[in-house]
A = this chain, B = another copy of it.
């Protein structure tokens, strides 16, 4: 036998990333668990948010580490520079944008996921069955039929993109996968209220439709889509030679938590043969609560539904879900064969359905595990109760605002979002906007609470979005007191 040209001895001692001494890593792991649990258990003793000192900011400009400094040093950097200056959404008075508060058990589940570290793109293994089961549970919880399919994604932005991509595949009337949108004889149109989240417009842009393909429809006084106006737009566009493709219904808008009349939208879509997609990022999971479910009537008729699990479902970031009514359509829209993805009848490379056939990603983390474990831990009912609790709290806050001479309630939707402002004796709208802007920043800077912004009819509103399982009635009392105190301060100094 001739010596192969390849057969060279490995010259160096082989090495890896595993520690020399597992006991050290184990000990560090124990310390981390203790430290984070301490952090979680005492979160309400700390500010809701705090500004990073310039010295901390500078730390993040250091050069690329060429030589390692070891696990201990890396952890110390985390403790000193990251932990105290995190976003703040663990805090009971964090109500900015729409952000969940996570949970200690969810965190531990995510550790297990990273520990066994599967790629959920392909193959036959238990993690794939965990994700499939989570999707099955979501179908059951939200009233989707057994023949529907789904996928866990980073969040509702991606879920919207996938739903709208399936819509395009099914309704375009041309072979978009093969030819793209170039072949279209007419501009394709999607419709949704003008309160629709900008991730929908961004999704349509990504899909090659452009902003012009989204027709924003006016809302009624309660921020729900005006169905008659939608009907007119569809009719008008058809007459103009445009091609209506689908309607996006909102189950919980970002500004006010409004839920469109989903049943009416489903009827209209059926009538005009349009795809019915729902952006239920915030509100879709409310179907879990028997009390809140009625406002979502019609959601179960959607062709595709996008929602988040890291928002009101309190799973650690990031995890959202898309459901698609017809599995075959979902799969057709995304599957593309390749030799290196060959399926075998047995072994690792087997399995009937690979998730990479249902979305754009071939590499996919095990975000299903935290959902699976948290649902097993708490049961679905508990989440329903928390939705009701947050909704009641929003009612309380609205009441506190209304009872105050100095505050003005701007909107209080059906759900968890309250928009208001400090008024005092200020009458000028511009001055009010400036005052409330300053007020919002001081609330955050002083670590009191972290609401965010809504601009409603040109008015700067302090927007409180309560999807937080740690908030309690006394947090709202304290918050309103402090808003009034700071508002007076600013009003006085401006006078």
- What 1/0 mask marks residues of chain A from 333 to 354 whose CB sits below 8 Å from any chain B CB? 0101111111011111100000
**Given contacts A180-B208, A201-B336, could you give 11 more A-B pairs where the C-beta distance is less than 8 Å?**
A7-B399, A7-B403, A10-B393, A22-B40, A28-B105, A30-B33, A66-B379, A73-B376, A89-B118, A198-B341, A340-B453
> Which of A119, A311, A442 has the most chain B CB atoms inside 10 A of its CB?
A119
23 contacts between A and B (CB under 8 A): A5-B399, A7-B399, A15-B382, A15-B469, A25-B37, A26-B34, A36-B115, A39-B116, A57-B129, A64-B375, A73-B376, A87-B118, A90-B117, A118-B317, A154-B364, A179-B211, A180-B181, A181-B208, A207-B207, A208-B208, A308-B363, A342-B455, A344-B440
CB distance from A467 to the nearest CB of B (A): 12
Q: Which of A225-233, A365-373, A487-495 contacts B (4 or more CB under 8 A)?
A: A365-373
Q: Which of B155, B336, B347 contacts A361 (CB 8 A)?
A: B155
Q: Which of A132-140, A258-266, A292-300 contacts B (4 or more CB under 8 A)?
A: A132-140
Interface positions of A from 22 to 74, Cβ below 8 Å from B: 22, 25-26, 28-30, 32-34, 36-37, 39-41, 49, 51-52, 56-57, 60-71, 73-74
Residue pair B114, A376 in contact (C-beta under 8 Å): no
Interface residue tally for chain A (C-beta within 8 Å): 213
Residue pair A56, B104 in contact (C-beta under 8 Å): no
Residue pair A412, B361 in contact (C-beta under 8 Å): no
A224 within 8 A of partner (CB): no
Residue pair B33, A444 in contact (C-beta under 8 Å): no
- What 1/0 mask marks residues of chain A from 103 to 131 whose CB sits below 8 Å from any chain B CB? 11111111111111111111111110110
Counted per complex, copies of this chain come to 2
Q: Which of B180, B254, B369 contacts A82 (CB 8 A)?
A: B369
Which B residue's beta carbon lies closest to that of A141?
A: B64
> Which of A25, A29, A87 has the most chain B CB atoms inside 10 A of its CB?
A87
CB distance from A289 to the nearest CB of B (A): 12
Q: Which of A157-165, A270-278, A323-331, A424-432 contacts B (4 or more CB under 8 A)?
A: A157-165
Q: Which of B30, B373, B444 contacts A30 (CB 8 A)?
A: B30
Given known pairs A36-B111, A119-B89, A469-B16, the reply for A463 and B340 (CB within 8 Å) is yes
Residue pair A117, B369 in contact (C-beta under 8 Å): no
Given known pairs A82-B130, A369-B82, the reply for A17 and B386 (CB within 8 Å) is yes
CB distance from A439 to the nearest CB of B (A): 11
Q: Which of A94-102, A215-223, A244-252 contacts B (4 or more CB under 8 A)?
A: A94-102
Residue pair B339, A455 in contact (C-beta under 8 Å): yes
